[in-house]
Structure 1
Amino acid sequence: MSYQLIYLATAIAKTCVLELTENNFAPQRGHCLMGHPKNGTLLVASVIATLCSLSAISKPAEAASLYKGWNYAIDSFNDSITGNNVGGTKYEIYGLALKQTEDKVFIAINANLPFGGTHSDYADDEHVGWGDLIFNFSGKNLSTASANKNLLGIRFASKNDSGVAATGVYEDVTAKTVAKANGIALDSLGEYNEWVKSKGKKPSLGDLAANDPYFNQATHVQNVIATGKKVGGINLLSAGNLSSLGLDFGHFNANGSQTIGLSADRSLFPEGNFILHLAPDCDNDIIALKGKLDIVPPESATVPEPSAVLGLTAMGLLFGSSQLGRNKQQKALNSSAS
């Protein structure tokens, strides 16, 4: 939401009303007054039209990924692999979602992989778990951000191959891949995408295209924390908790057999744009979510919606025009009487 545009619109409106007052509807070169000098209605209509345009710009896009306060990334439903099978496998990830409140960040996953992982004959230890959630607020690609310890990570599953010992939120994170140890036969993300396409399926990475340069196509995706400093804990959420928070993967036909949720304190996260990604330890499906964490004002200091602000501004302009018109008529009558 762009509050700067609202303030700009309000400033334009105030300036126009001030000039109408001082110049009695007389247009001046280079000023915002428009139309016939005796026609204040044209001016007001023009300004209101401008405000309406700004209102349309300032509203967040009605993107399909935004629903009931959650930001969703929906992945291809047929781009996971296991053995020679492609699509709809036990590693399929359908969606990833995030919700922010004043004091919490909520994250939810819809997939076929259970929270505790699954047996795999291909993994070194015959078990494949969930990788870690990896946030990148740096604006750089994943490899660069990892090399500079600019990642934030969440280990939420205790049975995985993370490089940190305990579940929780970690900052100053570097990431690594554990895909080979967990049985993937392909040598890189690029090869993975080509294999999926060769089977007539469509690879994707949620909010990113399958070949997006955010991930190095020549290697496997870093899917767990390698190193980092723990800064806080997490809380796992039940299906009832998630439902009460308005989560609804079904709205996007994302109907994996498992829905996993967790929360962490908002204070553990920076603000700004981010890319969040997640994969199983084997990298047999990958999803990324693009979003933004804002500083949430206290309820007592909530900024009004743009449409409300612009509506009030427009009403003020109409009222001001009406008053100025009456004042001018009164001056004309007084002049005739004298």
Structure 2
Amino acid sequence: MNNHVASTLLKTFVATVGVISVTGQAANAGVLRNGTTINTFMECINDGIALVVGSSPAQNGWYYATDSSNDGSGGSVYEIYGMGIKETESSIMVALRANMPLTGNDTGGPADGNIGWGDMFFNFSGLNFMDAMNQGQMFGVRFAGTNDSRVSQVGLYSGVTATSVTAENSGYGSIDGYNSSMGSNASLGDLARDTNYFDRTRSLNAIASGTFITGLNFLTTTQLTTAGFDLNRFAGSQTIAFSIDKSSLPGASVPEPSAILGLTAIGASIFASKLGKRRAIGS
């Protein structure tokens, strides 16, 4: 067998294994599909942000959403500047840049003397917020352990329903109320202030109920920069970041290593078979 034939067969083998490998990993690559929407508001809805995957190209694997720098009602501590999200082989990484600490802002008014972050909602369904929630397809994350969430543990939840905690936090009763107060400054990151994604007559900003899936792994700024997050992209005195095990999220089924090895073996078998036939013809 000459070198040209051997080279051709080797390329066939590599291409076969490559196709098999891509096929085997396809399910693992589909959690953050275009249109996936992630959002969070303050407990008072004095500011909020939404990120829509695919609204802008990823950079170093990170999707970013930028919020207005002057739409934090009630003072600068309520200002949110931006959000980033990245999918890795085993997790989803989320980062927020804002002036609000993870533990919230001590202030008068609320019974607990504190106004902080609401919960975060993950919508992979392509539906609007209310439809996804009503059809049991909404995921939620309680990431601030001092907030007024109705679920007890910090972590990821499935099948969540949402509620408002603005009444006990001296906040707005609706997104439209916030928009009216802030005027043209009002911004929701990747979503327009008059978006129909939310029911703007309501102020749903906390998890009411859901099924606990897993806890969170909070990340340092060093871990973020190592993962490619651009810390200089947004202003803000606070960086809040965490990762979530994505194994229970839609489209996150990962093939077993043995399955991938088996598929690779099939590719090798195809190569050996073709090579044997070539040798038989050339003998």
TM-score when scaled to structure 1? 0.57
What does 1:82-161 correspond to in 2, within 5 Å? 82=74, 89-161=76-148
AA in 1 matched with 2:178: Y
Please tell me the root mean square deviation across aligned C-alpha atoms, in Å. 2.4
AA in 2 matched with 1:125: D
Deviation at 1:296, TM superposition (A): 7.5
Distance 1:188 1:295, change over 3 A: same
What does 1:101-250 correspond to in 2, within 5 Å? 101-184=88-171, 186-197=172-183, 201-220=184-203, 222-250=204-232
> Are the aligned partners of 1:102 and 1:298 in contact in 2 as well (CA < 8 Å)?
no
Partner-residue secondary structure (3-state), 1:90: helix
Distance 1:297 1:212, change over 3 A: farther
AA in 2 matched with 1:175: A
> Are the aligned partners of 1:102 and 1:297 in contact in 2 as well (CA < 8 Å)?
no
Deviation at 1:138, TM superposition (A): 2.4
Instruction: Give the fraction of aligned pairs with identical amino acids, expressed as a percent.
Output: 39
Q: CA–CA distance in 2 between the matches of 1:196 and 1:270?
A: 36
Deviation at 1:181, TM superposition (A): 1.1
Partner-residue secondary structure (3-state), 1:144: helix
Determine which structure has greater relative contact order: mean sequence separation of CA pairs < 8 Å that are 6+ residues apart, divided by chain length. Answer: 2
Across the two proteins, how many residue pairs are aligned to each other?
207
* Residue 69 of structure 2 is aligned to residue 77 of structure 1: yes
Q: CA–CA distance in 2 between the matches of 1:250 and 1:158?
A: 27
Partner-residue secondary structure (3-state), 2:152: coil
> Are the aligned partners of 2:175 and 2:202 in contact in 1 as well (CA < 8 Å)?
yes
Deviation at 1:66, TM superposition (A): 2.3
> Are the aligned partners of 1:150 and 1:174 in contact in 2 as well (CA < 8 Å)?
no
Distance 1:133 1:243, change over 3 A: same
Partner-residue secondary structure (3-state), 2:185: coil
> Are the aligned partners of 1:98 and 1:106 in contact in 2 as well (CA < 8 Å)?
yes
Once the two structures are superposed, residues 77-117 of structure 1 have per-residue CA deviations (whole angstroms, 9 ceiling, x without a partner) of 111101xx5xxx10111111111011111010000000111
Q: CA–CA distance in 2 between the matches of 1:78 and 1:298?
A: 48
Moved over 4 A (4+): 61-65, 294-299
Q: CA–CA distance in 2 between the matches of 1:249 and 1:73?
A: 13
